[in-house]
Structure 1
Amino acid sequence: MIPCSVFIVAQDEANNIERVLRSVSDFAQVLVVDSGSTDNTVALAEAMGAEVIHQDWLGYAGQKQFALSLCQQDWVLNLDADEALTPECIAVIKQTIIRNDIAALRFARNDIFMNQLPNKWMKKPNNLRLYRRQLAHFDTSEQVHESAIVEGKEIRTQVAFTHFGYNRIDALVAKNNLYSSFRAEDKFARNKRPSLIKLALVLPFTFLQKYFLQGRITNGKRGLILATIDAFYAFLKEAKLWEKYLVDSDPNKKSK
């Protein structure tokens, strides 16, 4: 068994949970923290041999911090239920956890979109997912796009895990709508002021960045669609921050 703990935060992931658990079947500890599934996520996870713990929802970062606290191995790996490791990922993990000079490993991420992997010319997102347990924690004030904060040296690999959660347009747009609200709330709570210039320019600038600089143009129709969705997500975050000031805030704090 690979001496590493895997933790997965899940709710109503019956369509995904077996795939991710199958990809980590060789790890010493596999933990699923379920926040109240109404489908058979729990039964499927237990049948796959995972340790399943119930925890009412604490927020994205809070839930992951709770899961991290239950891990027993010195190294921990965080995956979402709609993700899966490849054999190449497992090989890199084995090479990493025997080293004494690093604290964390950041992976590339292959987002399946409309049933297709990104081509080799597209820039891939990356995520910090493997780290030493005692050197890591989550900032529970962050509502979304949470990532572990690790004290120590971080390295990167171009080896990518696979992400299935953005495969369909409706799922991606629904997540963007939810996450943009959380991001606007986080910025508002930190007294981040909206910018009219950014509101006007963030959509076209993001589209150009994604489509040309990050290589979406090389992925045909899918690349055009994805770059447009990404640009609108950037616009939504700024628009919803304006909404917080113009509609939801105290009248004395409204932007002119």
Structure 2
Amino acid sequence: MGISFSFYFRSMQKLSIVIVCKNEAGIIGETLKSFSNLTDDIIVYDNGSNDGTQEVVKRYMAHLHEGKWQGFGPTKNKASQFAKYDWILSLDADEAIDEELKTNLLQLDLADDKTVYELKFKNFFENKWLRFGEWGNDRHIRLFNRCVVQWNDARVHEELVLPAACKMVALYGYILHRTVKSITEYENKMRNYALMNAEKYFREGKRSSVTKAWLAAAFSFIKNYFFKLGFLDGKEGFLCARIMADYTFLKYKNLGDLDKIRVNRQQ
């Protein structure tokens, strides 16, 4: 049995999975289960959960760390510092992996630290996989070497800073992104994102108006529902396009409100 146990660990990939989360007790267990036999280093960086997320994490082969929320980019960089390996697979608590992706990750040699890996997503609206619209054909770079690549300092809509010498490789298989548990919960989440993104735009010196908010929302819906064929996803495709339009409206309306506050203070 001792020989089999040693082989079990040697056959794993030398990468660290890093997850930043808060109040994800309902989903993080299934996510962690999908990483079985992939790596011996799973980092969960919790930002103040009060729903029992910590207890769920401890039941799996994961290292739990807790710390303050500093915005998406800075918090993800902080979490990566706890990783055992330099190769980071950066995921969210609601992002599991399928068996095909796991197999391909295990086959990587990870010899070139200037290579980054782009992963495909299956985004689910409740139990429906959305193949079209805003979430169709979704893919992002999520596997990288932290010695070469890090997240920027954006508090929302963070991005990886890629040196010019980086080479991107696409992997087969999917990340299974189950982000919408209920419509009400998702709408509240998008309202919060709209405010954070408006504050980001305001700091960057961007301005808005009610007219711009309505026009941007209308264009968002038309683009996602018609141009990107969101209507082919049925009711869920319509709801996704509508929620994204609402998010766009609130983002620019909040930006306009922040500008009005700035003007009033100057008077």
Q: Deviations over 1:53-111 (max 9, x none)?
A: 11122222221110111222131101111110111221332344545385211222222
For structure 2, the residue ranges without an aligned partner over 5 or more in a row are 1-11
Please tell me whether the aligned partners of residues 104 and 172 of structure 2 are also in contact (alpha carbons under 8 angstroms): no
Indicate whether 1:172 and 2:172 are aligned: no
Q: Deviations over 1:186-238 (max 9, x none)?
A: 01011112256632321121111101222211111221121111112111111
2:262 aligned residue: 249
1:45 aligned residue: 57
Q: Percent identity?
A: 27
The two structures have a TM-score, normalised by structure 2, of 0.86
Indicate whether 1:238 and 2:256 are aligned: no
Please tell me whether the aligned partners of residues 112 and 167 of structure 1 are also in contact (alpha carbons under 8 angstroms): no
1:90 aligned to which of 88, 102, 113: 102
2:239 aligned residue: 225
1:6 aligned residue: 17
Question: Aligned partners of 1:192 and 1:94: how far apart in 2?
Answer: 44
Please tell me whether the aligned partners of residues 108 and 161 of structure 1 are also in contact (alpha carbons under 8 angstroms): yes
> What SS does structure 1 have at the residue aligned with 2:49?
coil
Please list every run of at least 4 consecutive aligned residues from structure 1 whose deviation after the TM superposition is greater than 6 angstroms.
none
Within a 5 Å distance, the mapping from 1:1-256 to structure 2 comes to: 1-26=12-37, 27-98=39-110, 100=112, 103-119=115-131, 123-140=136-153, 142-151=154-163, 152-157=166-171, 159-194=173-208, 198-246=212-260, 248-251=261-264
Please tell me whether the aligned partners of residues 216 and 223 of structure 1 are also in contact (alpha carbons under 8 angstroms): yes
Please tell me whether the aligned partners of residues 110 and 118 of structure 1 are also in contact (alpha carbons under 8 angstroms): yes
Please tell me whether the aligned partners of residues 119 and 139 of structure 2 are also in contact (alpha carbons under 8 angstroms): yes
Task: Tell me: CA distance 1:53–1:252, structure 2 relative to 1, closer, same or farther (3 Å).
Answer: closer
For structure 1, the residue ranges without an aligned partner over 5 or more in a row are none
Question: Aligned partners of 2:126 and 2:150: how far apart in 1?
Answer: 34
Q: How many residue pairs align between the two structures?
A: 252
> What SS does structure 2 have at the residue aligned with 1:76?
strand
> What SS does structure 2 have at the residue aligned with 1:3?
coil
> What SS does structure 2 have at the residue aligned with 1:165?
strand
Task: Tell me: CA distance 1:88–1:242, structure 2 relative to 1, closer, same or farther (3 Å).
Answer: same
Question: Aligned partners of 1:249 and 1:198: how far apart in 2?
Answer: 18
